[in-house]
Amino acid sequence: MQKPRHILLSDDGHGKRVRLLAGVASIPDDKRTSWVTLTREGSFTDPRYGRFEITRDMLLAMVRNFDTKVLGVDIFLDVNHRPGDGAAAKILKLSVEGG
């Protein structure tokens, strides 16, 4: 099995990015990539953000923004939701199931 890598990221200083992960991925030894569910439609509550909704239209907009590289940088999954702890993975593609 490949040794895990941490890619150190720095805070953007604006605190405006929301990072979501709904599950942990396991990648077979013979593969380098995997599909993972990042989030889903629904109504959610978080102690930091309060109550919020994620709609299908929002998910489709996230995919469009990713495909057009709106942020202008590669997107990584943070370890422990802390950019300074490094990255667990790089997001290569987004899609909405059934979309």
Cα radius of gyration rounded to whole Å, the chain = 15
The dihedral built from the CA positions of residue 59, 19, 70 and 93, taken in this order, carries a sign that is negative
Q: What digits encode the pLDDT tens for the residues 3-51?
A: 555 444 444 555 555 554 455 556 677 777 778 788 889 998 888 888 9
Give the chain's domain count.
1
* Cross-strand pairs, 54: 42
Indicate yes or no: pTM above 0.75.
Answer: no
55: containing domain = 1-11+18-99
Q: What digits encode the pLDDT tens for the residues 42-79?
A: 998 888 888 999 999 999 999 999 999 999 999 888 87
